[in-house]
Amino acid sequence: MIMLTIPVFFPVVTTLGYDPIWFGVIVVLVTGMGVITPPIGINVYVVAGVARDVPLQVIFRGATHLLMALLVTAVLLILFPQIATYLPSLMK
């Protein structure tokens, strides 16, 4: 899905004046959120396949802490894009 959507949205994002590095960080962060949230939650199902004695609900409940941390990070990066672009700006 990323291979289909990024070529469409990247030119729009750069035309609107957003930093491409910031956009890449946001895409990776949101993708990380997507692989642990139900109903798709591919990573959670992989963990459930490895730890067969742990119920799926317990694994999803454990993943909520990571999801909340990713959500706070995404909000901070949206409000303050300088966080994502600070180190790359030192390389110029």
Q: pLDDT per residue over 4-17, tens digit each?
A: 999 999 999 999 99
62 SS3 class: helix
45 inside domain: yes
* Domain assignment of residue 66, given as a range: 31-79
Token representation of residue 2? 């990323």
The reply to whether 50 falls in a domain is yes
What pLDDT is stored for residue 21 in this prediction? Answer: 95
The answer to whether residue 21 sits within a structural domain is no
Is 39 among the domain residues? yes
User: Looking at the domain assignment, is residue 69 inside a domain?
Assistant: yes
CA torsion, points 80, 84, 90, 92, in degrees to nearest 10?
Answer: -110
Residue whose pair of structure tokens reads 């409940």 in the numeric block? 61
What is the sign of the dihedral through the CA atoms of 22, 27, 33 and 36?
Answer: negative
pLDDT of residue 72: 98
- Give which of 83, 91, 73 is closest to 22, Cα–Cα: 83
- At 23-57, the pLDDT tens digits run 999 999 999 999 998 888 899 999 999 999 999 99
> What is the CA 73 to chain-centroid distance, rounded?
9
Q: How many separate domains does the chain show? A: 1
